[in-house]
Amino acid sequence: MPAISIKNINKTYIDQDGNEVQALHDINLDVAEGEFVCIVGPSGCGKSTLLEIVAGLLDATGGEVMLDGQPVRGTSRDIGVVFQDASLFPWRTVRKNVAFGLEIAGVPKEGREERLKRYISMVSLNGFENKYPAQLSGGMRQRAGIARTLAMNPKVILMDEPFSAVDHLTKCTLQEELINIRQAENKTVLFVTHDINEAVFLADRVVLLSPRPSTIQKIYEIPLEQKRGRNDPLLLKIAAEIAKDINSGGQDIPNNYWGNL
Ligand SMILES: Nc1ncnc2c1ncn2[C@@H]1O[C@H](COP(=O)(O)OP(=O)(O)OP(=O)(O)O)[C@@H](O)[C@H]1O
Q: Where are the domains of the chain?
A: 1-78+156-164+175-226, 84-153
Is 19 close to ligand 1, i.e. is its CB under 6 Å away?
Answer: no
Could you give the CA distance from residue 191 to residue 157 in angstroms, rounded to a whole number?
Answer: 8
Q: ipTM of the predicted structure?
A: 0.97
Q: 113 versus 8: which is more confidently predicted?
A: 8
**What distance in angstroms lies between residue 52's CA and the mean position of ligand 1's atoms?**
11
Task: From residue 19, give the alpha-carbon distance in Å to each of 16, 162, 232.
Answer: 7, 31, 46
Q: What is the pLDDT of residue 193?
A: 97
Is 44 close to ligand 1, i.e. is its CB under 6 Å away?
Answer: yes
Q: What is the pLDDT of residue 259?
A: 44
Looking at this protein, which amino acid is placed at residue 143? R
Is 84 close to ligand 1, i.e. is its CB under 6 Å away?
Answer: no
Give residue-wise pLDDT tens across range 85-105.
888 999 999 999 999 988 888
Residue 214 CA: which ligand 1 atom is closest?
Answer: 14
Q: What is the pLDDT of residue 260?
A: 43
Mean pLDDT of 119-137: 94
User: Please, what is the angle between helix 94-104 and helix 138-151, to 10°?
Assistant: 20
Q: Could you say which DSSP state residue 126 is in?
A: T
Mean pLDDT of 244-251: 80
Surface-to-core class of residue 92, CB atoms within 10 Å of its CB (0-12 exposed, 13-18 middle, 19+ buried)? middle
The residue whose CA has the least distance to atom 29 of ligand 1 is: 44
Give residue-wise pLDDT tens across range 64-89.
999 999 999 999 999 999 998 888 99
Give residue-wise pLDDT tens across range 21-75.
999 999 999 999 999 999 999 999 999 999 999 999 999 999 999 999 999 999 9
Say yes or no to pLDDT of 214 above 60: yes
Could you give the CA distance from residue 207 to residue 225 in angstroms, rounded to a whole number?
Answer: 18
Is 148 close to ligand 1, i.e. is its CB under 6 Å away?
Answer: no
Is 25 close to ligand 1, i.e. is its CB under 6 Å away?
Answer: no
For domain 1-78+156-164+175-226, the CATH class is: alpha beta
Q: pLDDT tier at 251 (50, 70, 90 boundaries)?
A: low
Is 142 close to ligand 1, i.e. is its CB under 6 Å away?
Answer: no
Could you give the CA distance from residue 138 to residue 224 in angstroms, rounded to a whole number?
Answer: 30
